[in-house]
Structures are given as structure tokens and as C-alpha cells.
Structure 1
């Protein structure tokens, strides 16, 4: 074992793994100590602190708008430091104003927000420091994600330990009342955020960040519902029980959810390392290597999750008594039920980054949103039909169970696709042409690509169940590498909304003084690649002009089928479309 550890330290990837595990281990220990300090202050203080931390986890995605995972991905895929810093500067353009707004709202309306969070206005004095915690951890998360994308794992993990373990621990040691503890924690997170971000801009902030801002928003915004659902899965049960059974019962449910979060810290290093490294391997075309790595990590995650769940269920009483002391008896039964969600939650935490790296569509967001819908249905039943507080713990476990199963299913699909890419002949490409008219040529007839066509209604952009089912069936049977939509004004928006495969859309020629229509504009925002029939249509785009490629397609004399095939292959292989020119 020692030899394997020393050998891994000789490689950059091995050092990243070791440093990340070490950092997350220290964060885990620090978190355990912090909750023990809260328990020593009494059950009421522990219940309040649990609700505060659950609220922070739920609220900060509203500020980030998906930029944390986006900045890690794009920074990892860009080579130049100046180009990487542009993505950080672009994300600060909305994270800082939203963070400031959050803090101001907490200062101005403490009583209504206290009723929403705690179920009573008596805790209004905690709202302003809670707002500072939400704002500061959001800015810190951005700096941390940037360092991860740069591959600076030592600095990233040091910041993680100082922020998530050091700051709360120091706050509890320095102050006795919970409000002061929250103020100090927020101040500590602000200081760590500044240490991560400020040194990156010694020469000043870069200008002209429209392209980078568009990349981050296009990638991150569709993931926001999933990010919010992720926080809500472990927070909504706490709020629901607070209104039906009071703060003490909600604290029990919240502590069970907190145990799941603490356990997830053991799998977080897999996720933290997997996103930038998977994105890099995809860009390099190392499909076989990535598939083998995913298989190893999947088995390790499943076995570790199962072992932890069994161990806790067998020894929950002694573990919590050792951890919480005299207050442990109040939390044992609820914690046992909540911890049944540790296995599926561990699978999700450990493997979710792979889905973020592989899919252009928010695959994790879709799974999270479905799990959240199940949670909402259970919560509605809890409000309508009188049920005990433990019912919400079972609802939470059920939602997490679906999330873990859906993640495992999608990871298996990604592995199958990677294996298929690794064994296929060099240069082969499967293209599904999605069109609303049978007469429009697609320009791939003489390129040697394997092409299949799929017809939908010309204006089918909505959530039509029949069209959606037909497209999903075609995707399963044909298994294309990329979708080409020759008419973005037709089924373009439908394709980008429903396809997990990268979609390239064609923007039709614009008339004099006319811009592409709103459907084409919306399609261009979400598409993996954009082709314009002429320069006028490219200039008429509201966004992503630099990403769009002016390339005549079809069977006319100006068509360039070789360049079209090169472009589609670059998009399918997760390379920058701008490099696709022949």
C-alpha cells in the first residue's frame, strides 16, 4: 500500500488525488469538530446551527448561476493563463453583484426571512450573518473552482481547509453566541475568497469578456435548476418539518441530512479531480483510458458507500454518543433512517463530474430535478395528510435513491459510448440530421459520414411528448455522435432541449437589415455548435458571434462539405469547434 502511495506521488495526477483526499479529509475532521462544538452549546444551538448550514447549502447556487462547475471545465480546457483568467473575471461580473444583493436583503428584511428559514421571527438576529455566509461562500466557491481548473490543487485544497474547516472552527472558539459565530464564519470565508481571487488580477481586470460570459452562462444556466434541486434535497425536509412539528424535530431531520453531507465529503475528491481531468481526456481523445478510469472509480465508490452505510446502521448509537455527547439520544433514530441515503448519495457525489464533463446538456440537473419533484410530492403529502416527522426523512431517502440510480445508469451509458469511440475506425462519424422539411439538403452526401435523417414537425420546439419519444428512440437505435439541424428556425430548439448528444444548428441566410428569428437565437444560445449560411446571419446573432462559423452548407456551388465534416467531428469529440477548420 505504501509503495503504491509513493508511486502515485511521482505523477501529477497521483499528487492531485492525494492532495485532494488530504484536503477533504481535513475538511471532514474540521466539520465534525464544528458540529461537536455546536452540540456542546446545547441542543437548541445545535438545531439552529444545523438549519443555518442547510440554508447556506441551499441558497448559494442562486448566486453562482452554475458558474462554479463551468469555470472549472472551461479553465481546464484552455491553455493560456490570460485566457483562463478571463473566465474568472467574466463570472465575477454577476457573482459579486448578486452576493452583495443577498447581503443587503438579509440586512433589510430579517423578520420575514427568519420566518421562512426558521419557522419563527424569533431568530431574526441570525438572518444578516446568515446572508453574509451565503454571499461569502459563493465568492469563495468561484475562486476555489478557478484554482481547481488551473490544476493548482495544493492552493485549492489549502483554501478549502481554511474556509470550510478553519473559519467555522475558529469562530466557535472565539465566540459564545451563535450570531457572532455566523458573522465570524462569513468574515473568514470572505478573507479566503479574496486570497484566491485578488492575486489573479494584479495587472487589472481584462475587458471584452462577452465570449467568456456567454460560455459560462450557456453552460451553467441550464444547470441552475439542478444546483438548486441539489441543495433543496437536503433542506426542504428541514423547512417542512419546522412548520409541522417545530424547530426541535426539524433539527433532527437536518442533522441526519448533515451526516449525509459529511459523508459526501469522502467522495467529493473523486468529483473534484474527475471534472477537469475528464474534460482534458475528452479533449485529447483518450476515450479508452477514460473508460477504464471510470470503471475503477465506479466500483470503488459503490463499495465504499455500501460499507459506510452498513457500519453506521450497526453502530449509530455509539458513534453519535461519542460525537454529540449527552444530546445524542435525540438524533439516533432519525439519523439511522436518513443515513440509508448515504449509498445513493455517495454514488452521485463521486461520479457526477463525469456527466458534467461529457454531456453538453445538464444531465445531472435533469436527474436532480426529477429527484426534487419526488421530494416535493412527498412534502405535499406531508402537509395535506398528518404524518410524523420521520416521514420526511423517508421521503428524502427515496429521492436520493432515485438520484443515485439515475447517476449510475447515465455513467454506464457514458462508458459504453467511450468504449464505442475507442474501437471505431479513425475518422468515422455518425450524424443524425434532424429536419422539419424533406427537401432541404444537408451537405454531407459525399463526405463518407454515416448519415441518418429524422423528421419532426417544422415548428416543433415545445415539449411534445410524441416527438420527444420518437427522437429518443432514434438516438437509442442509431447512437449518433452529433446532431445536425439544417434549419434552426424549425426543429432546432426542439433538438437542443431534448438531445443529450451535441447539437450543431444552421442559421439561415438573413435578409437585408434582418436578424435571425427568436427561435434561431434561443437555439444558438444552447447549441454545441453554430453554422451560419452567410456573414450577415452571423452578425445578426444576439450572442456567441465569435463561436459561430460562417460556412455555406447544402448542395449549392458554394458548399464546402469537407469543412462541414471537420467541424462536426470537432464538436462530436468535445474539442473546441473553432479548431475545426480544415
Structure 2
């Protein structure tokens, strides 16, 4: 989007190209999921008896894909108000509304979420120029693939980071415990969402300063932002550790007080996760090659290795979550190390 800034036709072509490419991939994935329902249910939920949920999950998957594309467009064109409204409606209002109205079955909830996300995204597309022919989209598709494909392994690894702990727990301890793990990780991603919008401004600003050769200003701004961000993350971590019991009781009810231990383990990853979110934009602004991808893959390998190690001794919910925190901590450390190299005068690759 930055390359086409100010050119509505070009930015629209980028979105249409992404919609075409990602949309086809999402539809293909949904088709495969429904073709192999039993296997998919066993893979993600630990039992093929949940195969009936796959069609509803497919609808939700398509909805969240469309939402992500629209949100990315608004962020890329710096239409921050549109991006925030879309995010607030689809990720804030819709879940609250759905969980308030549909309380019968998980299947109905997933269908309702998916339909609402698709509807919200289609409304958002009314504000995006999408009328382009396939021929006019070819150059944009090639450019998107050229820049995006090298980073795909890292994106998948990051998705695995956030999804695999739940899958492992589902296989080791059951669906109920997997739900507990999912709640813990959702708390972490919610904390991360506090820092994610920083990248909307930081990445283009960092790219501009690097292009001008203003490395000292770039360093000063980044360090100032990092101090504020890590300070906030540390406060969140301390507050979470101290107030875990009251927070769980207030949010979920006293019957879920047993999740306090899970909450306290996962929230330990808040500081390194916030560090990664803040610094990934700095790294992307300086490096052409996908350095973040390498950091994610290394950290993901550490998570897998530590998970296998603890499973050999005594597998279970807590052990998987500890391995998850170790992996996320490694990611934060690697991001900080790479940023230190950048600011010490290392040449951009």
C-alpha cells in the first residue's frame, strides 16, 4: 500500500488482488475442511465427534479472512478511523451480541459469528475500490506474491504458536482443558492488540527515517516507544499476577476460579510478546529479507522442543503453557537482539 499511497486506483488494485488471491485460498481451505470433516475435527479438537462443527467453523473462517483483508487495507492506506470502526464492530460488538443472543449450541454461535463477520466485511468493502479486471490485477498480484511469499512461513509459524498449544492440550487432556488454554492465550492476544496499532504509524515513519539516513532519530524514537510499551506490559503482567483471582471470578464467574493458575502462567508472556509486536515493525522497516520470519521459526522450534521435552516427563495443560511462554520469551529476546544490532550500526540486509 505504501508504494501506491495517494493513488486510489493502485491501492484498490492491491486490495482486489489480495481479495482474489486470499479469497481463492480461503475457499479452497474451507472446501478441504468440509471434505475431511472427521480428520479436521480430530486434528484441531482431539476427536472426530466434533465433525459437525466444521461447516460452522468454515463460515467463521471465511468471515475472519474477509475482515482481515479489509482491516489491512484501511491500515495500509492510513484510514485509521475506518480500521478502528471495523475492528470495534467485528471483534468487539459482534462477539458480545452473538454470545448474548445465541446461547443454545456452539454450532449456532460459530455460524452467527461467521455470518456477522462476512456481513460487516462486505459493508466495509463499499468504502474500498474493488472494480478491477483480472488483467489489471496481474502486476499487483505478482508484487504481492514477491514480497509476501518469503514471509508466509513466519506467518504460519506465528499462527501455530497461538493455535498449537490448544490443539496439544485437546489431545493430551481433553476439550474442556483446551478451552481453558484457549482462554489464556486469548488474554495474551488481547494484551498484544493494545500494542498492535502502534505499527500503523511506526512502520511508515521508520521506513521514512531509514530512507533519509536519520538513524539517530530513528533510534531515539524507537527506544522511547519501547520504554513506554515495555513499561505498560510490565504493569499489565504485575496486575494480572496479583489480581488474577478477582479478575477470573468477575469475568467468568466463581465456578471458573480453577483457571487462575493458567492465567498467571500465560500472562508471563505479555512482556516478551509486547516487545516482539513493538519491534517487528522496526525490523521490517530496515531489512528487506524476512528477519522476523527467521526469529519466529527459531522461537517456534524452541516451543516445540520444550513441549516434546516436558511431554516425555509429564505431559499436561500446564506443561504445554510453560513451553508456550518459553517460546514467546525467546521471540521477544530475538527481536530485541536484532534491534540492538540495527542500532549498533549493522548494515541493513
Same fold by TM-score greater than 0.5: yes
Matches within 5 A, 1:8-47: none
Deviation of the 1:192 alpha carbon: 2.2
Q: Residue 145 of structure 1: which of 72, 94, 102 is its match?
A: 72
C-alpha distance in 2, partners of 1:480/1:354?
14
Structure 1's 408 and 243: CA in aligned 2 closer, same or farther, altered over 3 A? Answer: same
- Which residue is 1:467 aligned to? none
Matches within 5 A, 1:49-198: 74-75=1-2, 78-176=5-103, 177-198=105-126
Q: Residue 294 of structure 2: which of 336, 358, 366 is its match?
A: 366
Counterpart contact for 2:16–2:132, Cα < 8 Å? no
Bigger proportion of residues as strand: 1
Q: CA RMSD in A?
A: 2.1
Counterpart contact for 1:374–1:399, Cα < 8 Å? yes
- Which residue is 2:263 aligned to? 335
- Which residue is 1:389 aligned to? 317
Higher RCO by CA contacts (8 Å cutoff, separation 6 or greater): 2
C-alpha distance in 1, partners of 2:130/2:332?
43
Deviation of the 1:318 alpha carbon: 1.2
| Superposition TM-score, scaled by structure 1 size | 0.57
Structure 1's 416 and 214: CA in aligned 2 closer, same or farther, altered over 3 A? Answer: farther
C-alpha distance in 2, partners of 1:322/1:225?
39
Deviation per residue, 1:523-558 (Å, 9 max, x gap): xxxxxxxxxxxxxxxxxxxxxxxxxxxxxxxxxxxx
C-alpha distance in 2, partners of 1:113/1:106?
6
Structure 1's 77 and 281: CA in aligned 2 closer, same or farther, altered over 3 A? Answer: farther
Bigger proportion of residues as helix: 2
Counterpart contact for 2:76–2:200, Cα < 8 Å? no
Structure 1: which 5+ residue stretches go unaligned? Answer: 1-73, 418-478, 482-500, 502-582
Q: Which moved more, 1:367-376 or 1:227-236?
A: 227-236
Structure 2: which 5+ residue stretches go unaligned? Answer: none
When Rg is computed on C-alpha atoms for both structures, the one with the higher figure is 1
Counterpart contact for 2:90–2:117, Cα < 8 Å? yes
Counterpart contact for 1:118–1:247, Cα < 8 Å? yes
C-alpha distance in 1, partners of 2:174/2:330?
28
Structure 1's 407 and 209: CA in aligned 2 closer, same or farther, altered over 3 A? Answer: same
C-alpha distance in 1, partners of 2:217/2:3?
18
Deviation per residue, 1:450-486 (Å, 9 max, x gap): xxxxxxxxxxxxxxxxxxxxxxxxxxxxx556xxxxx
Deviation of the 1:212 alpha carbon: 2.0
How many aligned residue pairs are there? 348
- Which residue is 1:539 aligned to? none
| Superposition TM-score, scaled by structure 2 size | 0.92
Structure 1's 209 and 285: CA in aligned 2 closer, same or farther, altered over 3 A? Answer: farther
Classify the secondary structure of the residue corresponding to 2:194. coil
- Which residue is 1:266 aligned to? 194
- Which residue is 1:424 aligned to? none
Deviation per residue, 1:543-575 (Å, 9 max, x gap): xxxxxxxxxxxxxxxxxxxxxxxxxxxxxxxxx
Deviation per residue, 1:404-433 (Å, 9 max, x gap): 11111122233344xxxxxxxxxxxxxxxx
Counterpart contact for 1:76–1:276, Cα < 8 Å? no
Counterpart contact for 1:294–1:415, Cα < 8 Å? no
